[in-house]
Chain A
Amino acid sequence: MKKSGELQNSPQAASKKVARQKVLLGLVGAFVVLLAVLPLFASGFWMRTLTLLFLLAAMAEGWNFIGGYTGYAAFGNVAFFGIGAYGTALSMLRLHFPFFLALLVGAAAAMLFAVLVGLPVLRLKGHYFAIATVALATGVGEVADFWTDFTGGAAGLTLPFFHPIQLSNYFFYYIAFVLVLFGLGLTYFIMKRKLGYSWLAIREDEDAAKMMGINTTWSKVVAFALSALMAGLAGGIYAYWNTFVLAEEVFKIEYTLQMILATVLGGPGTVFGPFIGAFIYYILITLLVFFLPVGQLHATILGLIIILVMVFTPQGVMDFLSGRKRLTLSALLENIRTHKV
């Protein structure tokens, strides 16, 4: 019988890992406090940039539920963002709901869509699931574009400005920030519970999960619906902030790729990964736009980066931050060798 010492990652290594996680938690905590007080001295430009980043982080946190924890490569989550945006805008314009109520309607619409679509689509696996989600997101975008009577079609929907206007930057900064914190809290909460365990079990082996008593359909649909909740809320906030909703804009596949990229850069299947990854993503594209003559980051380039990240470090930077691996060339190459994707 083998003794534990012969295996790597002994319990001592595990306790070292716990210590490292505490440091990481402290750093993230300090960073969160910094972001909370930032508007006191940051310029409007920085606040708007960070607001956008927070919305991305929130969507990434949502994608993490289905893509990171449950292991289903959802490539259509922008649909939830778009539905959240339209749901919020239409509730404000047609029903004259106050913003927060409209936001909830938008998010609820996104979740409802996720449940209805998830029931059939989540039966598919791997590439088939990925393709089906792309197709659905594209389809919903087309409907929004052509259903002119309801959505305003190509003319878009124009929303009232936030009042008082001089507080607008602060309002959207903080609401997006709170959404990110909500996402972190929700992730942490779920992953301590049975639902979280069921997601991991499904990701690692769906047949074994089923046989062990997990209602996999239900678990997956909940994961999908919660990712829709996050993206739907982000979409609603974005709509009001932008005061304009256009199908071409809010159903852009780039948004899906951005949330995937933020998650995989930071660390799929980790609590802080998507949040950290959103920052890494922003730094990365700023550098790319600066150094490469691309002007704008198209879907192709984002897709290429996703492939590179998935190949070299499928666990994102969290792999290195959490102490599971050391950031060396050999660790990156090892990732290629043991590739599971």
Chain B
Amino acid sequence: MNQEVIFETQGITKYFGGLAAVDNVDMKIHKGEILGLIGPNGAGKTTFVNTITGMLRPTRGRVIFKGQDITGWPAYRVGRLGIARTFQIVKPFLGMTVRENVAVGAMFGHKGKTRTTRQALEKADEVLEFVEMGHLRNHFADQLTLAYLKRLELAKALAMEPELLFLDEVMAGLNSREIEEAMEMIRKINASGVTLLIIEHVMKAIAGVTHRVFVLNFGTELAQGSPEEVLNDPRVIQAYLGEKFVERQRRMQQASPQQ
């Protein structure tokens, strides 16, 4: 894998009142990789993404994209620069058609300035074919099921033609076949040259598509490394499943015959 760093945070910190939702996080994302970001509920994953994409201002720390310091940039400039994201709580434009929803990304995103409205609509059709939603293009977003709303989030972000894409739990609420489809799509997106950071609670997906995993707990880094390393790290298991589970596992190991 290419080791060129495309994106980096240095000591990024976000306080809500007295609570440090994100605390002094240093993260490097390498060009071309799929980095998984995991951690228990409330660990600060979404807040981390909000803070580095301009939705929230960091309390402290720096954000660097392709060598440029973008700390505190407004979200629209971050978006135009080539960073896109999806929202964990989907944010469809309900009163617009699926096609128009996606066209907004093509109009204002990374290459938006080079496109006319019509070209943006054509780009939207292209993206909708890619995510297999072409047949829904003239539907209004308020008529979509949750699975399709999640996929619409993805299509809107893809239409921005980002170099770096943050996916915040695009698989939550999907059934196992839909998860397989989403994993396949993530691989395809990555193969087309997009660097990804994916937040996910579905461990099968994390193990299946990521090259590297970063773990947040109580807003700070708990571990990082290959998916196998990290997902078998007792500290990570403990953070996810609590003390009791780790205890039980240890006892079970002790009870089993020694080799």
A contact set with B: CB distance below 8 Å? 1-4, 7-9, 11, 14, 192-194, 197-198, 200-201, 203-205, 207-216, 269
Contact = CB atoms under 8 A, between A and B. Distances in A.
A215 B92 CA distance: 18
Interface string B91-108: 111111000100111011
A285 to B, nearest CB: 29
28 contacts: A1-B132, A1-B147, A3-B135, A11-B138, A14-B138, A194-B120, A197-B104, A203-B95, A204-B93, A205-B92, A205-B93, A207-B91, A208-B91, A208-B93, A211-B75, A211-B76, A211-B79, A211-B84, A211-B87, A212-B76, A212-B84, A212-B108, A213-B110, A213-B160, A214-B104, A215-B74, A215-B76, A269-B95
B105 to A, nearest CB: 5
B76 A200 contact: no
A211 B53 contact: yes
Contacts of A193: 117
A204 B104 CA distance: 12
A117 B77 CA distance: 24
Interface in B111-162: 112, 117, 120, 132, 135-136, 138-140, 143-145, 147-148, 156, 160
Contacts of B84: 211-212
Contacts of B112: 194, 213
A7 B95 contact: no
B54, B78, B91, B110 — which one has the most chain A CB atoms within 10 A of its CB? B91
Contact-residue size bin, chain B (C-beta under 8 Å from the other chain): 35 or more
B187 interface: no
Nearest to A2: B145
B79 to A, nearest CB: 4
B91 A216 contact: no
Contacts of B72: none
Contacts of B140: 9
Contacts of B132: 1
A236 B76 CA distance: 37
A210 B93 contact: no
B161 to A, nearest CB: 11
A213 B135 CA distance: 26
Nearest to B145: A2
A193 B117 CA distance: 6
A194 B117 contact: yes
A194 B107 contact: yes
Contacts of B91: 205, 207-208
Contact of A7 (B108, B139, B160): B139
Contact of B96 (A1, A200, A215, A216): A200
A198 B100 CA distance: 11
Contacts of B5: none
A287 to B, nearest CB: 31
B103 to A, nearest CB: 7
A194 B108 contact: yes
A146 to B, nearest CB: 39
B94 A212 contact: no
A130 to B, nearest CB: 20
Contacts of A7: 136, 139, 143-144
Contact of A4 (B79, B110, B136, B156): B136
Contacts of B156: 208, 212
A7 B147 CA distance: 14
Contact of A213 (B80, B96, B145): B80
Interface string B48-87: 0000011100000000000000000011101110001101
B109 interface: yes
A210 B100 CA distance: 16
A212 B109 contact: yes
Contacts of B107: 194, 197, 213
B75, B78, B85 — which one has the most chain A CB atoms within 10 A of its CB? B75
A8 B143 contact: yes
A2 B148 contact: yes
A246 to B, nearest CB: 41
Nearest to B91: A208
Contacts of B103: 197
B108 A192 contact: no
A2 B175 CA distance: 13
Contacts of A3: 135
The list of the 10 closest CB pairs from A to B, nearest first, reads: A213-B108, A204-B93, A208-B91, A213-B79, A210-B75, A205-B91, A213-B80, A14-B138, A213-B109, A4-B135
A14 B104 CA distance: 21
